[in-house]
Chains A and B, each alone.
Chain A
Amino acid sequence: MRATLERASPARTARRPTRPQLIRAVITAVLLLFVLFALPQLMSLYYVDTMTQVAVYSMVTLALGLLVGRVGLFSLGQAAVLAIGAWAAARLLFATTQPYPLVLLEAGLITMVAGLLIGLPALRLRGLYLALITLMLAGAITVVLATVNFPNGGHGFTGYNGSLLHIPPIRRPSIAASDPAYFRYSVVVAILMFALVYAHIKTKPGRAWAAIRQSEPAALAAGINIWFYKLWAFALASFITGVAGGVLAGAIHYLYSINFPTQDSITLLAVTLMGGVYSLWGAVVAALLYQFLPALLNNWGVSADWLIILFGLGVLQVLTTAPAGLADQVPRDLARLGRFLRGRLGRRPAPAGTPGGTPGGDPA
Chain B
Amino acid sequence: MPPWQDFEPFIVSGLALGGVYALSGVGLVVLYRATGVLYLAFGAVGALGALIAWSLATKAGAPGWAGWLACVAVAGAVTLGYGLLFGPALARRDPLIKAVATIGLTLILYGAMDLLWTTSGGQARSLALPTDNGGFTVASIQVTWTQVIALAAGVVLTAGTGTFLRFTKLGTAMRAMANDRDITATLGVPVRKVEAAAWLGCGVLAGIAGLLLADLVALDATTLTFLVISSLAAVLIARLRSITVTFVAAIVIGLLHDLLTPITSLSNYRDMTPFVIAAIALLVLSRHQVMTQSREEA
CA of A132 to CA of B110, assembled, Å: 20
Segment among B48-56, B228-236, B243-251 that sits at the interface with chain A? B228-236
Most chain A CB within a 10 A radius of its CB, from B90, B107, B110, B283: B107
Contact status B272-A312, CB under 8 Å: no
Q: A interface, how many residues as a size bin?
A: 35 or more
Tell me how far the C-beta of B3 lies from the nearest C-beta in chain A, rounded to whole angstroms.
24
- What chain A residues lie within 8 Å of B278 (beta carbons)? 132-133, 136
The answer to the question of A139 belonging to the interface, with a C-beta cut-off of 8 Å to chain B, is yes
The answer to the question of B292 belonging to the interface, with a C-beta cut-off of 8 Å to chain A, is yes
Contact status B107-A308, CB under 8 Å: yes
Knowing A127-B94, A262-B226 are in contact, say whether A319-B268 is a contact too (CB < 8 A). Answer: no
- What chain A residues lie within 8 Å of B97 (beta carbons)? 319
Tell me how far the C-beta of A78 lies from the nearest C-beta in chain B, rounded to whole angstroms.
13
- What chain B residues lie within 8 Å of A125 (beta carbons)? 282-283, 286
CA of A266 to CA of B102, assembled, Å: 11
- What chain A residues lie within 8 Å of B62 (beta carbons)? none
The answer to the question of A309 belonging to the interface, with a C-beta cut-off of 8 Å to chain B, is yes
The answer to the question of A313 belonging to the interface, with a C-beta cut-off of 8 Å to chain B, is yes
CA of A144 to CA of B226, assembled, Å: 17
CA of A36 to CA of B286, assembled, Å: 48
Most chain B CB within a 10 A radius of its CB, from A127, A267, A270, A307: A127
The answer to the question of B149 belonging to the interface, with a C-beta cut-off of 8 Å to chain A, is no
- What chain A residues lie within 8 Å of B204 (beta carbons)? none
- What chain A residues lie within 8 Å of B236 (beta carbons)? 129, 132-133, 136
The answer to the question of A256 belonging to the interface, with a C-beta cut-off of 8 Å to chain B, is no
Knowing A74-B96, A144-B272 are in contact, say whether A305-B86 is a contact too (CB < 8 A). Answer: no
- What chain A residues lie within 8 Å of B107 (beta carbons)? 266-267, 270, 308-309, 311-312, 315
- What chain A residues lie within 8 Å of B291 (beta carbons)? 216-217, 220
| Chain B residues within 8 Å of chain A by Cβ, number | 51
- A124, A309, A315, A316: the one within 8 Å of B283 (CB): A124
The answer to the question of B296 belonging to the interface, with a C-beta cut-off of 8 Å to chain A, is yes
CA of A363 to CA of B111, assembled, Å: 45
Contact status B229-A131, CB under 8 Å: no
The answer to the question of B38 belonging to the interface, with a C-beta cut-off of 8 Å to chain A, is yes
Contact status B108-A312, CB under 8 Å: yes
The answer to the question of A273 belonging to the interface, with a C-beta cut-off of 8 Å to chain B, is yes
- What chain A residues lie within 8 Å of B99 (beta carbons)? 128, 131
Contact status B283-A312, CB under 8 Å: no
- What chain A residues lie within 8 Å of B292 (beta carbons)? 217
- What chain A residues lie within 8 Å of B93 (beta carbons)? 319
Contact status A136-B229, CB under 8 Å: yes
Interface residues of A in 85-118 (CB under 8 A from B): none
CA of A278 to CA of B108, assembled, Å: 25
The answer to the question of A263 belonging to the interface, with a C-beta cut-off of 8 Å to chain B, is yes
The answer to the question of B185 belonging to the interface, with a C-beta cut-off of 8 Å to chain A, is no
Contact status A136-B233, CB under 8 Å: yes
Tell me how far the C-beta of B229 lies from the nearest C-beta in chain A, rounded to whole angstroms.
6
The answer to the question of B161 belonging to the interface, with a C-beta cut-off of 8 Å to chain A, is no
Tell me how far the C-beta of B279 lies from the nearest C-beta in chain A, rounded to whole angstroms.
5
- What chain A residues lie within 8 Å of B275 (beta carbons)? 136-137, 139-140, 143
- B101, B226, B269, B286: the one within 8 Å of A263 (CB): B226
The answer to the question of B141 belonging to the interface, with a C-beta cut-off of 8 Å to chain A, is no
- What chain A residues lie within 8 Å of B86 (beta carbons)? 316, 320
CA of A216 to CA of B289, assembled, Å: 13
CA of A314 to CA of B106, assembled, Å: 12
| B4-20 to A contact mask, C-beta < 8 Å, 1/0 | 00000000000000000
Knowing A128-B96, A263-B222, A316-B101 are in contact, say whether A309-B229 is a contact too (CB < 8 A). Answer: no
Contact status B111-A305, CB under 8 Å: yes
Knowing A136-B275, A143-B271 are in contact, say whether A129-B286 is a contact too (CB < 8 A). Answer: yes
CA of A129 to CA of B232, assembled, Å: 11
CA of A133 to CA of B289, assembled, Å: 16
Contact status A313-B108, CB under 8 Å: yes
CA of A187 to CA of B58, assembled, Å: 51
The answer to the question of A237 belonging to the interface, with a C-beta cut-off of 8 Å to chain B, is no
CA of A132 to CA of B292, assembled, Å: 20
| B87-107 to A contact mask, C-beta < 8 Å, 1/0 | 001100111110111011111
CA of A206 to CA of B100, assembled, Å: 25
Contact status A147-B268, CB under 8 Å: yes
Chain B residue with the shortest CB-CB distance to A146? B268
- What chain A residues lie within 8 Å of B109 (beta carbons)? 312
Most chain B CB within a 10 A radius of its CB, from A126, A131, A269, A316: A316
Interface residues of B in 100-150 (CB under 8 A from A): 100-101, 103-112, 114-115
Contact status A139-B272, CB under 8 Å: yes
Contact status A143-B272, CB under 8 Å: yes
The answer to the question of B274 belonging to the interface, with a C-beta cut-off of 8 Å to chain A, is yes
CA of A136 to CA of B278, assembled, Å: 8
- What chain A residues lie within 8 Å of B59 (beta carbons)? none
The answer to the question of B169 belonging to the interface, with a C-beta cut-off of 8 Å to chain A, is no
Contact status A312-B104, CB under 8 Å: yes
The answer to the question of A135 belonging to the interface, with a C-beta cut-off of 8 Å to chain B, is yes
19 A-B pairs with C-beta separation under 8 A:
A74-B96, A124-B289, A125-B282, A125-B286, A131-B96, A136-B233, A136-B274, A136-B279, A137-B275, A140-B276, A143-B269, A147-B268, A269-B100, A269-B103, A310-B111, A311-B111, A315-B107, A319-B100, A319-B104
- 4 smallest CB-CB distances across A and B, nearest first, come from A308-B111, A312-B107, A315-B104, A312-B108
Given contacts A140-B276, A262-B226, A309-B115, 11 further A-B contacts (CB under 8 A): A125-B282, A128-B95, A129-B236, A129-B282, A131-B96, A133-B278, A143-B275, A269-B100, A311-B107, A312-B108, A315-B103
